[in-house]
Amino acid sequence: MAEPLRLGVAGLGTVGASLVRILAEKHNFLTDRCGRVIEVVAVCARDRSRERSVDLSAMKWFDDAVALARDPAIDVFVELIGGDSGPAHDSVVAALDAGKHVVTANKALLARHGTELAMKAEQNGLILNFEAAVAGGIPIIKTMREALTANSVNRVFGILNGTCNYILTRMEREGISYDDCLAEAQRLGYAEADPTFDVEGFDTAHKLAILTSIAFGTKVAVDEIYVEGISNITPADIQAAYDLGYRIKLLGVAQKTDTGIEQRVHPTMVPFDSAIAQIHDVTNAVAIDGDIVGQLVLSGPGAGGDATASAVAGDIADIAKSRPGQQYAPAFGAPAAQLAPYRQARMRAHAGGYFIRINVHDRIGVIASVATRMANENISLASIVQHTPAKQEAAKKQDDHQTIIMVTHKTTELAIRNALEKIGEDGHLVSAPQMIRIEN
């Protein structure tokens, strides 16, 4: 049997503690599967006294993650600290410089420095694994990087943030407001005290940047992603979408276009009968459109200690099964030096169907004027209706406003925005318009 694989784990939060426990409980099982013993020999955490419900007594403690990363007693450095700079970045770089394989669950680190770290790992003949960085327990990285190697990917998209999916699910199911759903998500621990990173789409954007690089062989380009969150979604939007046969989901979407690669994160209307529309609560899902396999959808727990630790343990097991001297697979599917510069598609050239909700003054000729402005931009409307739910009728009579719902055929975002600007200049709008893309 090969020599034991010795791990240094930096970060003993929910995921780190779960990982140490799982590796202990599955010790014999993993030894049989991997052909060698896997053992945690050293750890690093800010608070040594915190109760973690795992036995850490036999492990060497470090207060400095960089010192742990350089420790000659470890073979693999497991980074579970988080953050795109500081100790997380410095310790991963130190580990690769010291000849250690690296496993990380850090999406922010990879979104900012993934190309650089992959280059360093490959130059030093090391493995950089990060299955847990995207969609928790769903094996999406390995699927795209290995199982779908023969496929040319045209599009990858999915629900990549459980907090947003939980909020949108409850808004539809119970008819309650975004603010009330967010408060409940915070109470249950699904959302942070400051939920901005999740609800405004930035968490999804980090994960999408990683998937885009693997799907299309480009350098990681998180700053080139168009990002909208869900904080402006109202129960009226949810109900109108439902009435039209759609659900609203926050999607991360990357796809090839004639002008480059689109990377976009935004609320999206998806048909009831689509697989992605059936994903509820905190569950994640990723869909891949390949030229050979067609569309493949993977769903499962996107966060949580055990789900994320499961993915980390899988990455560690892959390293345990490897042997010195073999050629390791590139971190992003293609050698880092061969990753193409990212060429961003023009977001406003994005073509598709759109849902538009506008609140306008209730007066003669408004609907005709709105339709004319749409026609002037060559926008074909699938439907245009005055949409006033019964429970809003009394308010409508008092404020002399009405809601118009429009669904377009395929058009461009630029055309939609031009038309809405003209409608605003005509003095018809009572409040800012709502525009949601439709994904089929």
Residues forming the active site: 207
DSSP-assigned states of every residue in 89-113 = HHHHHHHHHTT-EEEE--HHHHHHH
Cα first-last separation, the chain: 52
DSSP-assigned states of every residue in 129-167 = E-GGGSSTTS-HHHIIIIITTTPPEEEEEEE--HHHHHH
Which residues does 10 contact at the CB level (< 8 Å), separation at least 6?
16, 43, 44, 45, 62, 65, 68, 69, 77, 78, 79, 80, 81, 87, 91
- Whole-angstrom distance, CA of residue 5 vs CA of residue 353: 52
Contact 302, 164 (CB under 8 A): no
Amino acid at 333: G
Token pair recorded at residue 183: 């408060």
SS3 label, residue 123: helix
* Eight-class DSSP state of 36: S
* Eight-class DSSP state of 378: T
Cα angle for residues 112, 122, 262 (degrees, 5° grid): 40
Cα angle for residues 437, 252, 192 (degrees, 5° grid): 110
**CB-based burial of residue 23 (10 Å sphere; 0-12 exposed, 13-18 middle, 19+ buried)?**
buried
Residues forming a β-bridge with 206: none
CA distances from 161 to 53, 64, 137, 301 (A): 28, 31, 13, 10
Residue matched to tokens 């129960």: 235
- Whole-angstrom distance, CA of residue 34 vs CA of residue 12: 24
Token pair recorded at residue 12: 């003993």
